[in-house]
Amino acid sequence: MSDRGYSLVELLVSVAILLVVFGSVCQLASPAHATALVQAELQDMQQKARVLADSIAFDLRLAGANTTTGSLGGPLSTSFAAILPAACCGSMADPPGAERSDRLTILYTPRGSPLAQTTTEVAPGSSALALAPGPACPSAPLCGFVNGDLLLISDGSGRYDVFRLDLTSGAPLLDIVTAPFTTSYGSGATVARVVVRTYVRDAGSDQVFLVNGDDRPEPLVDRVVDLRFEYSDGSGAALAGRLGDGPWTGAGGSMYDDDVRRVRRVHVTYTIRSGLRGAGALSIADLTSGFDVALRNVTGGS
């Protein structure tokens, strides 16, 4: 170096050395960065799979469960189908009697719910609800039901309908959820608070939505490129193709195939796609898994 500073040649040599060193550091850091991205993405995919499996399995284990309060107890499935191979209600509802491999509706009564009986007819065009007092009705006149409750009315023949209880006017009124409402229930029909949970995979967005009753669909898990429900009876025989061809039980929005009441086990498979769609070190295979759930609360049916 002269008294006037660095020469151009010296500066160029210094820059070249820095570039070589910087390039070497980048080569060392790049694999570590890619590994960190892959590990984070794998954990995210596994978390999505866990959320999906835990939610569906939890509801399937409760399918058909009935209240422990009142004298009318027993599995709901002795009166009607506790699961449906379709979306029953709301904006994503399928036609009555539909059979879908990527949709599932589960019904059960929450623990401790009251269970009552009607004293007047519930029919299309008649939305008033009157309940009988007695051991099954712990508090008059509504037996502990509150505004906004989902109520299931059935008559033991396999027919049922789901309503939302409306008390805003001061009188108990029923708004149909399993529309259209075309049947009638006479005095003595069973009334129970019910949970209705529907799982729907939307092929357009690769999202799985969870619908409570007829509420607005809520996103549960995204990047689900495949979700399938397979059904079998008590002997393990597959029921695919037999759950939407009749003969039928019920009518209107709650009509379903008689064979649905024979379902005793549900096999669920799903595939989660990675958000990293690069090549080489960033290429991650889809995560595919599945599980079986025996419907322990389901009885009845042939």
Decide: 300 and 75 in contact? Cβ < 8 Å: yes
In terms of residues, how long is the chain?
302
Decide: 273 and 181 in contact? Cβ < 8 Å: no
Say what the pLDDT of residue 279 is.
53
Nearest CA to 64 among 254, 296, 258, 301?
A: 296
Say what the pLDDT of residue 72 is.
47
Residue with tokens 């505004």: 147
The helix/strand count (H/E) of the chain reads as: 1, 15
Mean pLDDT, the chain, as a whole number?
85
Average pLDDT over residues 67-93: 74
- CA atoms of 99 and 86, how far apart (whole Å): 6
Give per-residue pLDDT as tens, 269-284: 999 998 876 555 567 8
Give per-residue pLDDT as tens, 101-130: 999 999 998 887 888 889 999 999 888 999
Which positions ≥6 away from 44 have C-beta within 8 Å?
275
Which of the residue ranges 12-16, 178-182, 196-200, 257-261 would you say has the lowest mean pLDDT? 12-16
Specify the pTM: 0.84
Average pLDDT over residues 15-24: 64
Q: What is the largest CA-CA distance in the chain?
A: 110
Say what the pLDDT of residue 71 is.
44
Q: Is the pLDDT of residue 70 over 50?
A: no
Q: Is the pLDDT of residue 185 over 70?
A: yes
